Amino acid sequence: MKRIMLRAKIHDAVVTQSDLEYEGSLTMDVALMEAGEMFPYEQIHVYNITNGERFITYLIKGERDSGVIGVNGAAAHKAKPGDRLIIAAYSFMSDDECFFYRPQKVMIGQSNKIKEII
C-alpha cells in the first residue's frame, strides 16, 4: 500500500506579489525551493494562514535570494501581498518508508529568509 505523506513544507512565507493575468502557478525564490527540496513544476498545496483559503498549483523558479513569493493566475484571487502562507509538497510512500520518514520543514523569517530548517 502507498500512502500520501507530507514530504516538505515552507512555513510562514509572505506573499510579495500577485499577478492575475499570469497563466498560473506560484513563483518562489529558488533558494527557498532548494531548502525545501522542491522542484520547478512540482505540484504544491498552498494554505493561506491569513484568510483560510487553500489551493493546489505548481512551482516556478523565482530569483535566488529575492524572497519572492508570487501568486499567479486564478490563485491571485486567493492570496494577496502580505498574506502568510504554508506551502506543502506531498509524496507517495510505502508503509515501511512512512515509519521512518520525517518531512523537510523550512521555517521562514522576516523578508522570506530562512530562519530554520527542521
Distance of alpha carbon 109 from alpha carbon 14, whole angstroms:
9
Instruction: Report phi then psi at 77, rounded to 5.
Output: -75, -15
Instruction: Report phi then psi at 107, rounded to 5.
Output: -95, 130
Q: Which residues pair with 92 in a beta bridge?
A: 4
Q: What is the pLDDT of residues 52-107, one digit of tens each?
A: 999 999 999 999 999 999 999 999 999 999 999 999 999 999 999 999 999 999 99
Mean pLDDT, all residues of the chain:
96
Q: What is the pLDDT of residues 15-27, one digit of tens each?
A: 999 999 998 799 9
Q: What is the pLDDT of residues 43-54, one digit of tens each?
A: 999 999 999 999
**Residue 1 pLDDT level (bands cut at 50, 70, 90):** confident
Cell numbers placing 89: 509538497
Matching residue, cell 507530507: 6
Catalytically active residues are 25, 58
Please state the separation of Cα 73 from the chain's center in Å. 16
Q: What is the pLDDT of residues 99-112, one digit of tens each?
A: 999 999 999 999 99
Name the residue ranges covered by the structural domains of the chain.
2-117
| pLDDT for position 24 | 77
Average pLDDT, integer, range 6-14 = 98
Q: Which fold has domain 2-117?
A: Barwin-like endoglucanases (2.40.40)
